[in-house]
Copies of this chain bind each other. A is one copy, B any other.
Amino acid sequence: MKLRYFPFTIVLKDTFTISHSSRSTTPAMMVEIEHDGLTGYGEASLPPYLKENQQSVTEFFKKVDLSEFNDPLDLDIILDYINNLASGNEAAKAAIDLAVHDLAGKIKNLPLNQLLNFKKSSGIYTSFTIGISSKEKIKMKISVASSYKYLKIKLGSEVDKKNIEFINSLTDKPLFVDVNQGWSDKYSALEMINWLAEKNVVLVEQPLSKEMIKENGWLTERSPLPIIADEAIQTFDDIELVKDFYSGINIKLMKCGGVRQAKLMIEKAKRLNLKIMIGCMTETSCAVTAASHLASLADWIDLDGAELISNDPFSGMKIIEGMIQIPDSPGLGVTKIRKYQT
C-alpha cells in the first residue's frame, strides 16, 4: 500500500461566522492510498481553531510507511499501527482511516455501511447550518434551506434572542442550537435554554466553555433540552470525562480519528445512554460521505459540511429534500471529480 497526500484549500460558499471566529476557507489535506490498482480516498479537514494544520499533518504522514501492509482488509492492524505512531493528530489519522476503509469496501464490493454491518436506514434527515449573520443573510439562508427539515443555528452573540425570534417568524422548522462555547455563565445559559425550549429548539450544543464541565453538569440537570458536548469531546477517552455532565455527544470523524474510532465511541456512548449526534467540519464530500454511513446509528445528523463549500473535489452522499442519500457504490462511495487545488 502506498500513501500519497495533497494539501488542499476548501473554499466556503459564504464567509462562515460562529462564536469567536469568521473565515472563508478551511485548509485540508487530501489522501490517496494506492493498493493493487485500486485507490482509497481520505481527507483531513483542518479548521484553524483546532490544533492540527497542513504542516502537522505532513509531519505525521512522513512517519507513515504503509509499504509493509499488503492487505487493506487488515483494518485493525493497519489502524493500530497508525494510531501508535504518535498521540493526537486525529484529523491526519482520520484521513488514513477513511482511505483504508474506502479500499477495504472496494475490495469486498460493499458500501461502508455494509462492510461494517450497519443498517443503511433510509429517511434520515440532516440539519442545515446557519451561521451568525445579518437578518437579510438569515432570511436568504432559510430560503436556501427550504427543502431541509431541521435548521442548525449558531448562537453566542449579543443578538441570539432576536435571531431566534426572527427565525421563528419565518419558519416553524425544529432547530438545533449550537453555541460553540459562546455563553459564559450557567445561570443566564439556563435562562436562555428555558426560553429556547419554547422556540422550537430541540437540542443545544456546547453552551459553555469546554473547561466548565461541572457548570455544564449543573445545566444539563436543569435543562429542558438535551445538552450535547461538541468541543468538550474529541476522542474515545473523553467520553469518560463528559458522560455525567452532558446528555449526549457530537462525534466528528476529524475529531476522533476516523470511522473505526467513531464506531467505538458510538457503541460506548449507547451503553452509557448518551445521545449521539454525528457532525462534521466544513469538509469535502469525501469525509461527509464517510460519516453518512454511520447515520443510522445516531439520534441526530448534522452533515451539511460539503453543501457549504464551493470546490468539492468529490461527488458522494447527496441531500435530497433534507434527507441524506448514502451512495450504494463500494467503499465510501465517492467519485473524484476535480483535482485538489491549493
Contact = CB atoms under 8 A, between A and B. Distances in A.
B339 A37 contact: yes
A248 B115 CA distance: 44
> What is the total number of copies of this protein in its complex?
2
Interface of A: 36-39, 106-107, 109, 315-316, 318, 325, 327-331, 333, 335-340
Contacts of A318: 328
Contact of A107 (B37, B38, B333, B337): B337
Given A109-B315, A315-B109, A38 B327 contact: no
Contacts of A325: 328
12 contacts: A36-B339, A37-B340, A38-B337, A38-B339, A39-B39, A39-B336, A106-B315, A106-B336, A107-B338, A315-B330, A318-B328, A330-B337
Contact of A337 (B109, B316, B327, B336): B109
Contacts of A333: 329, 335
A327 to B, nearest CB: 7
Contacts of A39: 39, 336
Given A38-B337, A336-B38, A329 B327 contact: yes
A136 to B, nearest CB: 30
A106 B316 CA distance: 12
Contacts of A336: 37-39, 106
Given A106-B335, A106-B336, A331-B335, 19 more contacts: A36-B339, A37-B338, A38-B336, A38-B337, A38-B338, A39-B39, A39-B336, A106-B315, A107-B338, A109-B315, A109-B337, A315-B330, A316-B329, A318-B328, A327-B329, A329-B329, A329-B335, A330-B335, A330-B337
A23 to B, nearest CB: 25
Contacts of A340: 37
Nearest to A30: B37
The 8 closest A-B pairs by CB, nearest first: A37-B339, A106-B337, A329-B335, A36-B339, A315-B330, A109-B337, A330-B335, A330-B337
A94 to B, nearest CB: 21
A35 to B, nearest CB: 9
Contacts of A331: 335
Contacts of A38: 336-339
